[in-house]
């Protein structure tokens, strides 16, 4: 595995498996003099924690983050910031019956095909717990972006057939919403739908929407490290993601050019603005200064308690019932991961952009 | 711009602008002893060329590729392979009226915001002509993959409201289809729709679908360089792409877990197989050996001859009519670009995968 | 700081400061199925530990390594291998008097100039303790190389004016030598010289020599990632290194071409061989199969108890006497670090080399 | 070959072989709005050209550079800058007798071992002509650095036994010196020595010294991308380099700590300064603001007309006399290459340093 690092100047390297002794991250390229303690990171991790309500898994995982290096007297030093969550409970015996079978929709088979070995306990490296490192790293990126006036916000925009209405977007509700949905009515409906899924021994898919407001213009490096390309990689690197859309997304396929092009006009103060944002804030791979708009599709949780037909390492096919309690949907816990990956991507490209013109270099060094 | 390279071991670096003196590519990491001449590359470039029919632009661009380095006596040497297409016709005066206005849906504004200068002739670096380098590089990747039994194929799966039917997929038709559509009936309908778009002075969006057959298992490097993540970056780096979907894609959001999980069964010979491919050939970021399935949404061509409302560099808003003939849709010429980016991504990750186990190292070096 | 990672496929990311809570490393790209426990790593760390004898510092640092992730049932899984040493003793008060002064020959000033903050306790990130992560990572590389028949060995070849004689090279003596010198007579002389340095309140420079035997041919990627170039970076990244020489090194400047060229001849069995190794095993940046030969010069320990004249952050100049016991020379503890950096470099380039020819690809995948 | 790119933000990718159709470079990450035409680059290339005097080779190589992309109306646009020199004269037949023999001291054998094929004409990719791309890329870096007040200068400090005296350093002489030596007396002596080498059918080694003045402080990214580490890689990537020294270099091995540490004092104006520069301007891998001082050792030209004993691809040993005229020493033509690699390294790390502190980010974006 040679792919555990993300980012060129703001570089996040994660480590750890579901039932290993620790999961964590080394964040390199953190600018010095950012005030930072564990109390700044913990709230981000708490958002991805299960056990908050009946629709997320019941296992208790306090997941307290420890900063191992990179700060001094409450500030970052410019040195790599290592953070870890130590696993307290490693009941690997719970997973014994999964040792010799590949769960449908999981990475069990592919890890085994690639490495000839796998840590089957709780999914090993392919577990959702791997995102602990991402969220801790993304928290640092978000805190830096906030000080630059850039804000990344994500929420669950749909679960199964239930979709949040933009008209009922309530940011205050979102902060305390157990399903991470900003529309209280949709959340109630979604709760009913998830109850149905549980009874039906199945699970639901859904979507997470993410916006970046206060976005600077000029961010993104054509032609391969475009902002949308880097976001595409960042978001598809999250487990269970099957689609990424920017701006008008898949709808662009059935739009006319005169509909999809964002026309210029003037706002109430007579200032020039774009009257729509089908571009999602990105043209030619570079941010325009409009809000970034991204939507991510998550597949339904693959672990379901219904009987399935699974492959075994020896090539045989076998019925499988997965025991234990599992989240009936992924987006509610993954919203903060989408936010983390988006924040890292934007910050990294903002750092890279600083040397784009002679004028920037001369102002800095001249 | 610090983003003109793609890939870690098989590395493609493109250069050139629409109306500069040459466009091209340096492909590094090409394995030695691949038979290769310009005649092997040219057919790939011909597929992205305009002027083939009335639905693509009328400018004549022969685009003959020249190999500048990296081969000796008709074989690659392991040294960087530089290839270029020299521009014969650089009528920059055609574009004079676009110097002081930002075309809606184009990168004019964002390049200017980032760099404080732009080559406005034909879109400069953000022109579709930039893909010449990608297609030449992708051709090399495809030729290598073919020798390993891996085949990448892409086609236009929809234009506006017209969608190809899997039941009418005709590979022979695809080879000669002017719209790069495999379904002859859909193509006829699409032609009528595009005629309508022209009359209505607008353009159409569409989708390109790409599959990789003969795919090896074990390809992709969790957790950030997953196969789907790298494909996401590769495909979003193509101009005008607004969505990327893998396997069940956006449909996964409204599927149940028991529907989306690919169940195991047996084929007609009694051998174990997966009975569906909602995963699109990738689980946990690693290929399973099933076909890779990707779908890409392209927005409608932003250049339309209808009057639009555009921003100017001085902040004013101005009406704009774009002269000249422009493709009424992008997918037909972009299909080969999707293929190129997919081939590069798969090959690069196949190279990286070679050192994944001690057994591989010992067989190679022991 | 964006430079805490080394290597492209075998990637080592270190973290930690002298007096932080932990120092460690994430090793990514470790092939699966390597038997590995903490007991395999600890002996390498023990070689860089102080307190072994009177010529190395007296602080007690047991430095027990913990594996946090990446192994399962005593074997590597292909997942990132995180290893840490937790600091037990963090007496930062010892360093209080160094908070407002820049020690000559140390990185105190430059860290402050760059970051506007520094952890002055024990040198912070620029401490020799940072090499814990390198040595742990290098141990993994060495263990892998050994299984491929490649061996990296380093030793102290000189301290001050005392130079080891190739004629008295005793590998058994080296294993137990407190100064890491293979020549028992030179070691005795060096001990006397170091006693003199201590009395004179100063320190000594020296050199470390490193060879790689069983080296494979074809390793190194021209033109920028040549084997010698990558070794140059690896070795100059070690603190206190002022020169790196390969093969004939600085002596090549005063040699004639006919002297420096390695001539072909035959060995006792009549087989063709090169009769000398002025190339140090590398031609055109690629290994020839001959032994790699490298020599590294370390400056004298900058911490000396003699009064010095130092700069302060406020720009004033001040006398300084550094308290405490410090190693009178660096090479004896750094030899294992040279070995670690060499092993990582060779292994990474061996992995990269695996896709150099079509034949390799076809054998692996075809 | 996967190593043809250098630099992270200012990225130089070279291509081309001695007798291919073109050699060149793609420079990515060039800041926009730098005035640049071919006339700015050509003088740098002229400095590496042979045929200037009797001590460099007699082949005529005008080597006119062409800019293929990346500028518009005489200024850089931020887009990748492609530059090429087209080979006019490709008399490959001259080299026919070298097809089946490995010249001692050359890369012939190692390229063949690695790739199973080699372009034997003039050394192929391992020819000195490969440095055309480096010098063109380095010219761009130097021009940018000059505008930031940073100057890189290199010269031949010794040829064989003849060493330039710092006391006779004449910058005006250096500009027109055929041997690139700043000391007129040493140059005369060197010329006599080279005449002797020619008569003796052999060649001479030598050294190139390089300084960076006006250097900014804070440049370099610990712990692996230290300024000295990156310089080490840059300089060892030049053909024929056998040693790199920074500051006191190999002399540090025999110095005492109190000698090698640079002590603080005051200059004639009473301002604090360091009284020596044994550090070579770098402490802990970060620039201090003092001049950077580097010395590079080149081995003697391996092509000599004396009979040698060489290996053949079939494993036999054979006498070899290399025909044709060859430079009797490398440093005079390589000095500008040393300058180029140093300039690229310093500029790249200056770009990376721009995001080192929160203050920098806030000033740029806040």
Look at residue D310 and tell me whether its pLDDT is greater than 80: yes
Question: Which of C66, C69, C98, C110 is best to mutate for the A interface (most A CBs within 10 A)?
Answer: C69
What pLDDT digit, counting tens, does each position of D99-139 carry?
899 999 999 999 999 999 988 888 899 999 999 999 999 99
Other residues' Cβ atoms within 10 Å of the Cβ of residue D206: 31
The C-alpha atoms of residue A235 and residue B229 are separated, in whole angstroms, by: 7
Look at residue D89 and tell me whether its pLDDT is greater than 70: no
The DSSP call for residue A278 is T
**Please, are residues C19 and C119 in contact by the beta-carbon 8 Å criterion?**
yes
Grouping H, G, I as helix, E, B as strand and the rest as coil, residue D280 is: coil
Query: D214: which strand partners?
Result: none
Look at residue D94 and tell me whether its pLDDT is greater than 90: no
- B51: confidence class by pLDDT, cuts 50, 70, 90: very low
Inter-chain touch D361–A9, beta carbons under 8 Å: no
Question: Which of C24, C131, C221, C299 is best to mutate for the D interface (most D CBs within 10 A)?
Answer: C299
Inter-chain touch B225–A284, beta carbons under 8 Å: no
Inter-chain touch D317–C258, beta carbons under 8 Å: no
Other residues' Cβ atoms within 10 Å of the Cβ of residue C70: 29
Q: Enumerate neighbours of C (3 or more CB pairs within 8 A).
A: A, B, D
Inter-chain touch A28–C2, beta carbons under 8 Å: yes
D chain contacts of residue C230, beta-carbon cutoff 8 Å: 233
Inter-chain touch A258–B304, beta carbons under 8 Å: yes
Nearest to B290 by CA among B301, B299, B280: B280
C chain contacts of residue A15, beta-carbon cutoff 8 Å: 26, 68-70, 79-82
What pLDDT digit, counting tens, does each position of A148-173 carry?
999 999 999 999 999 999 999 999 99
Nearest to C29 by CA among C5, C10, C13, C4: C10
D chain contacts of residue A222, beta-carbon cutoff 8 Å: 79
* Minimum distance, in Å, between the CA of residue D133 and any CA atom of chain A: 22
Burial of D172 (0-12, 13-18, 19+ CB in 10 A): exposed
Inter-chain touch B364–C366, beta carbons under 8 Å: no
Inter-chain touch A82–C124, beta carbons under 8 Å: no
**Please, are residues B341 and C12 in contact by the beta-carbon 8 Å criterion?**
no
What pLDDT digit, counting tens, does each position of D234-290 carry?
999 999 999 999 999 999 999 999 999 999 999 999 888 999 999 999 999 999 999
Inter-chain touch D34–A358, beta carbons under 8 Å: yes
* Minimum distance, in Å, between the CA of residue B337 and any CA atom of chain D: 20
* Minimum distance, in Å, between the CA of residue C21 and any CA atom of chain B: 27
Inter-chain touch A309–B111, beta carbons under 8 Å: no
**Please, are residues B339 and B174 in contact by the beta-carbon 8 Å criterion?**
no
* Residue scoring higher pLDDT (B19 or C286): C286
* Minimum distance, in Å, between the CA of residue B48 and any CA atom of chain A: 18
C chain contacts of residue A127, beta-carbon cutoff 8 Å: none
Angle ∠(B292,B297,B298) on CA atoms, nearest 5: 130
- D56: confidence class by pLDDT, cuts 50, 70, 90: low
The C-alpha atoms of residue C166 and residue C99 are separated, in whole angstroms, by: 45
Alpha helices in chain B (DSSP H): 38-47, 108-115, 131-147, 171-176, 184-199, 227-236, 257-260, 331-353, 358-365
B chain contacts of residue C365, beta-carbon cutoff 8 Å: 148-150, 216, 350
What pLDDT digit, counting tens, does each position of D193-232 carry?
999 999 999 999 999 999 999 999 999 999 999 999 999 9
Inter-chain touch C224–D107, beta carbons under 8 Å: no
- Among D11, D66, D77, whose Cβ lies nearest the Cβ of B2? D11
* Minimum distance, in Å, between the CA of residue C343 and any CA atom of chain B: 15
User: CA C262 from chain center: how many Å?
Assistant: 28
Question: Which of A161, A243, A265, A328 is best to mutate for the B interface (most B CBs within 10 A)?
Answer: A243
User: CA B223 from chain center: how many Å?
Assistant: 24
Alpha helices in C86-183 (DSSP H): 108-115, 131-147, 171-176
What number of residues does chain A have? Answer: 366
Could you give the domains of chain A? 5-365 (3.60.150.10)
Ramachandran angles phi, psi of C125, nearest 5°: -70, -25
For B215, the closest chain C residue by CA position comes to C365
Look at residue A1 and tell me whether its pLDDT is greater than 90: no
pLDDT-wise least confident of A42-51, A85-94, A315-324, D152-161? A85-94
Look at residue B56 and tell me whether its pLDDT is greater than 60: no
Question: Token match 């690229």: residue?
Answer: D344
* Minimum distance, in Å, between the CA of residue D86 and any CA atom of chain B: 9
Ramachandran angles phi, psi of A265, nearest 5°: -160, -160
User: CA B356 from chain center: how many Å?
Assistant: 28
Inter-chain touch B10–D23, beta carbons under 8 Å: no
Report ipTM (2 d.p.). 0.96
Residues of chain C with pLDDT under 50: 1, 51, 58
For C362, the closest chain B residue by CA position comes to B148
pLDDT-wise least confident of A261-270, B56-65, C105-114, D302-311? B56-65
Segments of chain D assigned E as strands? 5-6, 11-15, 22-28, 65-69, 71-72, 75-76, 81-86, 151-159, 162-163, 206-213, 241-246, 264-266, 272-274, 282-283, 286-287, 292-298, 308-311, 317-320
Question: Which of B5, B26, B148, B364 is best to mutate for the C interface (most C CBs within 10 A)?
Answer: B364
Q: Enumerate neighbours of A (3 or more CB pairs within 8 A).
A: B, C, D
* Minimum distance, in Å, between the CA of residue D73 and any CA atom of chain C: 32
What pLDDT digit, counting tens, does each position of D14-55 carry?
999 999 999 999 999 999 999 999 999 999 999 987 545 555
* Minimum distance, in Å, between the CA of residue C130 and any CA atom of chain D: 9
Q: Show Cβ contacts of residue B285 under 8 Å, excluding neighbours closer than 6 positions.
A: A3, A107, A110, A126, A237, A239, B220, B221, B222, B223, B225, B226, B227, B228, B229
Nearest to D23 by CA among B79, B352, A85, A304: B79
Inter-chain touch C117–A26, beta carbons under 8 Å: no
Inter-chain touch B205–A315, beta carbons under 8 Å: no
Element (DSSP H or E) covering residue D99:
none
The C-alpha atoms of residue C264 and residue C274 are separated, in whole angstroms, by: 4
- Among C222, C230, C299, whose Cβ lies nearest the Cβ of D252? C299
- Among B2, B223, B318, whose Cβ lies nearest the Cβ of A237? B223
The DSSP call for residue D164 is -
Look at residue B76 and tell me whether its pLDDT is greater than 90: yes
Prediction pTM value: 0.97
The DSSP call for residue A144 is H
User: CA C151 from chain center: how many Å?
Assistant: 15
Question: Which of C361, C362, C363, C366 is best to mutate for the B interface (most B CBs within 10 A)?
Answer: C361
- D59: confidence class by pLDDT, cuts 50, 70, 90: low
The C-alpha atoms of residue B31 and residue B144 are separated, in whole angstroms, by: 9
Inter-chain touch C114–D5, beta carbons under 8 Å: no
* Per-position DSSP letters for A226-243, written without gaps between them: -HHHHHHHHHHTSTTEEE
The torsion defined by the Cα of D251, D254, D255 and D257, in degrees rounded to 10, comes to 120
Other residues' Cβ atoms within 10 Å of the Cβ of residue A91: 10
The CA-atom distances, in angstroms, between D4 and each of B80, B288, D65, D271, D321 are: 7, 33, 19, 45, 32
The C-alpha atoms of residue B349 and residue B354 are separated, in whole angstroms, by: 9
Look at residue D11 and tell me whether its pLDDT is greater than 50: yes
Inter-chain touch C221–D248, beta carbons under 8 Å: no
What pLDDT digit, counting tens, does each position of D329-344 carry?
999 999 999 999 999 9
Burial of D56 (0-12, 13-18, 19+ CB in 10 A): buried
* Per-position DSSP letters for B66-81, written without gaps between them: EEEESEETTEE-SS-E
* Minimum distance, in Å, between the CA of residue D358 and any CA atom of chain C: 9
Element (DSSP H or E) covering residue C24:
strand C22-28
C chain contacts of residue A115, beta-carbon cutoff 8 Å: 32-33, 77-78
Return the number of CB contacts < 8 Å for A and B. Answer: 384
Cβ-count burial C9-23 (b if 16+ within 10 Å, e if not): bbbbbbbbbbbbbbb
Quick one: tokens of C125? 């990130």
What pLDDT digit, counting tens, does each position of D167-191 carry?
999 999 999 999 999 999 999 999 9
- Among D8, D17, D22, whose Cβ lies nearest the Cβ of B79? D17
**Please, are residues B44 and B340 in contact by the beta-carbon 8 Å criterion?**
yes
* Minimum distance, in Å, between the CA of residue B69 and any CA atom of chain C: 14
Mean pLDDT of chain B: 94
Quick one: tokens of A171? 């940011």
Other residues' Cβ atoms within 10 Å of the Cβ of residue B74: 10
For D120, the closest chain B residue by CA position comes to B72
Residue C62 is predicted with a pLDDT of 81
């Amino acid at each position: 595995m040679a792919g555990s690092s993300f980012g060129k100047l703001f570089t996040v390297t994660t480590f750890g498996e579901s039932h290993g002794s620790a999961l964590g991250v080394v964040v390199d390229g953190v600018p010095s003099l950012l005030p930072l303690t564990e109390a700044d990171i913990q709230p981000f991790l708490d958002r991805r924690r299960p056990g908050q309500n009946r629709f997320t898994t019941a296992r208790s995982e306090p997941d307290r983050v420890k900063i191992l290096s990179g700060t001094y007297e409450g500030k970052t030093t410019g040195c790599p910031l290592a953070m870890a969550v130590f696993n307290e409970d490693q009941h690997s015996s719970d997973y014994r019956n999964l040792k010799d079978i590949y769960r449908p929709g999981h990475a069990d088979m592919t890890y085994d095909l690639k490495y000839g070995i796998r840590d089957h306990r709780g999914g090993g490296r392919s577990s959702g717990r791997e995102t602990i490192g991402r969220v801790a790293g993304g928290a640092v990126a978000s805190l830096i972006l906030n000080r630059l006036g850039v804000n990344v916000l994500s929420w669950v925009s749909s679960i199964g057939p239930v979709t949040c209405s933009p008209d009922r977007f309530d940011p205050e509700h979102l902060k305390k919403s157990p399903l991470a949905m900003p529309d209280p009515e949709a959340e109630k409906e979604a709760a009913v739908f998830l109850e149905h899924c549980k009874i039906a021994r199945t699970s639901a898919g859904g979507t997470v929407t993410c916006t970046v407001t206060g976005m600077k213009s000029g961010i993104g490096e054509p032609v391969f490290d475009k902002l949308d390309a880097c976001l595409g990689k960042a978001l598809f690197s999250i487990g269970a993601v099957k689609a990424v859309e920017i701006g008008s997304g898949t709808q662009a396929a059935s739009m006319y050019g005169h509909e999809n092009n964002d026309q210029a006009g003037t706002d109430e103060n007579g200032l020039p603005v774009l009257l729509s944002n089908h571009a999602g804030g990105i043209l030619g791979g570079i941010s325009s200064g409009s809000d970034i708009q991204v939507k991510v599709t998550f597949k339904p949780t693959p672990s379901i308690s219904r009987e399935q037909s699974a492959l075994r390492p020896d090539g045989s096919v076998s019925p499988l019932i997965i025991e234990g309690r599992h989240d009936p949907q992924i987006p509610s816990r993954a919203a903060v991961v989408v936010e983390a990956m988006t924040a890292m991507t934007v910050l990294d490209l903002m750092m890279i952009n600083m040397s784009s013109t002679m004028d920037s270099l001369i102002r800095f060094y001249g």
